[in-house]
């Protein structure tokens, strides 16, 4: 049924998350879907007020028009680059979808899994930086954790760029 799918894309605005967004746009998202950008910020600064208010539950769903307004996202401590903003606007216009963002604060692994259940998402697309085995042991892999603990279908898009 059109309009019932809530497709999530985990984005930290890195090249690998932009690749996941592009893959989702090319292969999953269709007219009438809701595309939900899930962003997790690691640090919480209580000076802004907005972040303290939404720390436990995540931000309200932020529509694309507000994502495009730098002052709106600044109060949540999020910086979206111009390339990603262009991608979001093009996808929303071409696919005729509703595009929103939800911001969480904390451990990305836990918060992305939380978003899957709380939004709830029909599926999730997440990027993978392609860390080697040693880096994965020390840094952990967000995508690996989400694949093993998420409660919806999850697609991992492997980045062609090497992450640090």
Sign of dihedral through CA atoms 9, 54, 60, 113?
positive
Whether 122 is in a domain gets the answer yes
Residues 62/37, Cβ–Cβ less than 8 Å: no
Domain membership of residue 132 as a residue range: 6-158
Per residue in 134-162, pLDDT tens?
554 544 589 989 999 999 999 999 876 54
State residue 139's pLDDT score. Answer: 46
**Model confidence at 130, in pLDDT bands (50, 70, 90)?**
low
Rounded distance, CA 47 to CA 51, Å? 8
Say what angle helices 108-118 and 142-149 make with each other, to 10 degrees: 40
Provide the pLDDT for residue 164: 38
Q: Determine the Cα–Cα distance for residues 140 and 128; give it in Å rounded to an integer.
A: 12
Residue 85 lies inside a defined structural domain of this protein: yes
pLDDT in tens, 49-68: 555 667 778 999 999 999 99
Could you write out the three-class secondary structure of 44-101? CCHHHCHHHHHCCCCCCCEEHHHHCCHHHHHCCCCCCCHHHHHHHHHHHHHHCCEEEE
The reported pLDDT for the residue numbered 71 is: 87
Residue 66, in any domain of the structure = yes
**CATH number, position 61:** 3.40.50.620
Distance, in Å, from the CA atom of 80 to the CA atom of 67, rounded to the nearest integer, reads 8
Domains held by the chain: number: 1
Mean of the per-residue pLDDT values for the chain? 86
């Amino acid at each position: 049924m059109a309009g019932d799918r809530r497709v999530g894309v985990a984005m930290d605005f890195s090249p690998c998350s932009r690749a996941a967004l592009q893959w989702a746009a090319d292969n999953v998202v269709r007219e009438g879907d809701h595309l939900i950008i899930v962003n997790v910020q690691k640090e919480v600064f209580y000076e802004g007020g907005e972040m303290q208010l939404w720390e436990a539950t995540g931000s309200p769903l932020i529509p694309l028009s507000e994502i495009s307004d730098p002052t709106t996202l600044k109060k949540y401590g999020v910086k979206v680059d111009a390339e990603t903003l262009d991608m979001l606007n093009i996808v929303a216009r071409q696919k005729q979808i509703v595009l929103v963002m939800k911001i969480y604060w904390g451990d990305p692994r836990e918060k992305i899994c939380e978003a899957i259940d709380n939004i709830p998402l029909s599926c999730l697309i997440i990027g993978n930086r392609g860390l080697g085995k040693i880096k994965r042991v020390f840094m952990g892999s967000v995508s690996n954790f989400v694949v093993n603990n998420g409660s919806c279908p999850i697609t991992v898009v492997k980045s062609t760029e090497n992450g640090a």
